[in-house]
Structure 1
Amino acid sequence: MSGAREPLSVVVITYNNADTLERCLAAVDWAEEIVVLDSGSSDATVEIARRHGARVAVHPFDDYGPQKQRAIGMATHDWVLNLDADEVLSPGTRAVIERALTAPRAAGYRLPRRERMFWTVQHRCSWRNAHLRLFDRRRGRMNDVPVHAAVEVDGPVRTLWRADFVNDGDGDIATRVDKINRYSSGMVAHKLARRQRFTGLRMVFYPPLFFLRQFLLKRYFLNGWAGFVASAIGAFYVFLKYAKLHEARRLGRR
């Protein structure tokens, strides 16, 4: 690698993430700065963050977008890598990021994400959704989508396909189902505000189409029964979103 790269701040928000934070921070200990914004953890989360040299602050949690934006504002470097506390960079991703930051040609970079599928990790040859996580904070900020808030940047975005990270959060089926129940409830107000139409038709037809897209087109079948279960739960999440939206509209009419 020729030339000096842009210094990097890694930004993580936490709440009782002692089970996953150690691996998350160990994989980014090469960054110039680690910022952890905690929401009042009662476990060893803050202790783990400080052991990894992170700059730690505490602020009550209001929502994902505002909390992430608050943490991004704490960073001292222009380039930020935004991670969740249960996400771990894969081996080799550091080198890809450092090459990109040697002479950045975009306002932000997407990194493919592999999911933990209960008893296994997503196969590299199944489709990996890419998420904008590495960006110039002078040109980007979190949007206001509830639950699934994400970074948006003013400028070109590229995908670093040779890099990826693993979402290590859902270690069993019960955890995944509990999460989609919470997330689907959190999306109701947002969908009501967007006045999405044809809720009933979406509720009937979109879940099976989603399953087929995940399991076949995105090659989740490469993950065996774990891929089948993940595809089925994803389809159920789609169903829940529109079922709860339909319910909210019916109750509103009363």
Structure 2
Amino acid sequence: MEITGIIIAKNEAKYITKAIESLLSVCERVIVVDSGSDDGTHKLAEQAGASVVFHEWEGFKGQRRFADTVVETDWVLVLDADERLSAGLASAILKLKEKPDTSEIHAYSLQRNLHFMGKCFRNNFLTCERKVRLYNRNFASWTGGSVHENLTVDGKIQKISKAIDHYPYQNMEDASEKLRHYAFMKASDKFEAGKTAGFWKTVLNIKYNFIKKYLFQFRFLKGTPGLILSWLETDYTAIKYMKLYELNHSDKDKEKNNDAE
């Protein structure tokens, strides 16, 4: 099994080198699909040993699809620039490469641990987040919206128990800015899909999200960082549904104005 590592990037100079080094520990080649960085990402990526290909930004799904077209190997391993393979995961993938290729298995799903304010937030049996990141591109296709792209696999997906280490936020300000940006994008996706948000739906989703994050994911055991992260992610949920509500009603206002004319 030969693997090509893929990273979608724009202005990721702070993270790109470590992400590439992580992939090169298990991949024969790493390709960075850059959509116009101006912070030195391109140069740092090449210095770290990756090939860099420019592709105009067309959403996460579009970038993923393009990346699969420039890969020469059947197998692809995808990381975001702010992610790393844990030592255990790298070891597990190297062991897979030593085995004969199994035609029945077309992808592998991985766990992901989030790191924030010096704490590692691991998944548990109630909230296990798995991502298909290692896959045979001949049996997979990218779908989804502008924020959360999904990989649809035609065939068997096997689980790997080891995890990706995710470092999405440098600090509270960075977390708040990114989450609010994603909230507006996700609201637009929901609006285009015909989703609506009313008062009770918004309130219940906000309350449920905090309970799920803080209690069910045991973040209360992480002290203040656990509370802060849960609150920031609940803010994301609140903004997402409030923006969706605004889009719903601005659309209705347009219809009323058109009817009046």
Task: Tell me the residue number matched to 1:60.
Answer: 56
- Contact 2:190–2:244 under 8 Å retained in 1: yes
Q: How far apart are 1:158 and its partner, in Å?
A: 2.4
Paired residue secondary structure (1:114): strand
Moved more, 192-201 or 128-137: 192-201
1:129 alignment counterpart: 129
Instruction: Structure 1 unaligned segments of length 5 or more: list them.
Output: 1-5
Contact 2:109 2:130 in 1 (8 A): yes
- Give the Cα separation in 1 of the matches to 2:229 and 2:70: 36
State how far apart, in whole Å, the 2-side matches of 1:61 and 1:107 are: 28
CA contact (8 A) 1:20 1:168 kept: no
Amino acid at match of 1:159: K
Conserved? CA contact 1:147–1:187, under 8 Å: yes
Counterpart contact for 1:11–1:83, Cα < 8 Å: yes
Determine the C-alpha separation between the residues in 2 that align with 1:33 and 1:199: 48
Structure 2 residue identity aligned to 1:113: R
Q: Tell me how far 1:124 sits from its aligned partner.
A: 6.8
Alpha-carbon distance in 2 for matches of 1:198, 1:72? 36
Matches within 5 A, 1:14-53: 14-30=9-25, 31-53=27-49
Query: Which has the higher mean CA deviation after the structures are superposed, 127-136 or 85-94?
Result: 127-136
TM-score normalised by length of structure 1: 0.90
The SS at the match of 2:87 is coil
Q: Aligned residue for 1:72?
A: 68
- The answer to whether the Cα contact below 8 Å between 2:196 and 2:244 also exists between their aligned partners in 1 is no
Task: Write the distance in 1 (CA, Å) between the matches of 2:237 and 2:43.
Answer: 38
Number of equivalences: 248
- Deviation at residue 119 of structure 1 after TM alignment: 3.6
Q: Report the Cα offset of residue 120 of structure 1.
A: 2.9
Q: 1:121, CA displacement in angstroms?
A: 3.0
Query: 1:24-66: per-residue Cα shift (whole Å, max 9, x none)?
Result: 1111223111111111211221112112221211122121110
| Structure 2: gaps (5+ residues) | 254-261
2:259 corresponds to: none
Matches within 5 A, 1:74-89: 74-89=70-85
Q: Which residue of 1 aligns with 2:256?
A: none
Kindly indicate whether residue 171 of structure 2 is the aligned counterpart of residue 157 of structure 1.
no
Q: CA deviation at 1:143?
A: 0.7
CA deviation profile, 1:68-119 (whole Å, cap 9, x unmatched):
2111211111110011111111112112123334244522111111112134
The secondary structure found in structure 1 opposite 2:23 is coil
Checking the alignment, whether the CA contact within 8 Å between 1:88 and 1:167 is kept in structure 2 is yes
Whole-angstrom CA distance in 1 between matches of 2:169 and 2:20: 18
Question: 2:245 & 2:196 partners in 1: Cα distance?
Answer: 10
Partner Cα separation in structure 2 for residue 123 and residue 164 of structure 1 = 9
**Alignment partner for residue 11 of structure 1, among 6, 12, 29?**
6
List aligned pairs for 1:1-254, cutoff 5 A. Answer: 6-30=1-25, 31-101=27-97, 102=99, 103-104=101-102, 105-123=104-122, 128-161=128-161, 163-197=162-196, 199-254=198-253
Q: Deviations over 1:164-211 (max 9, x none)?
A: 111212011111111111111112232123323553222111111111
Bigger radius of gyration, 1 or 2? 2
Q: Which runs of 4+ in 1 moved over 6 A?
A: none
TM (normalized to structure 2)? 0.88
Report the Cα distance in structure 2 between the residues aligned to 1:197 and 1:45, rounded to whole angstroms.
39
Is this contact kept in 2: 1:123–1:222, CA < 8 A? no
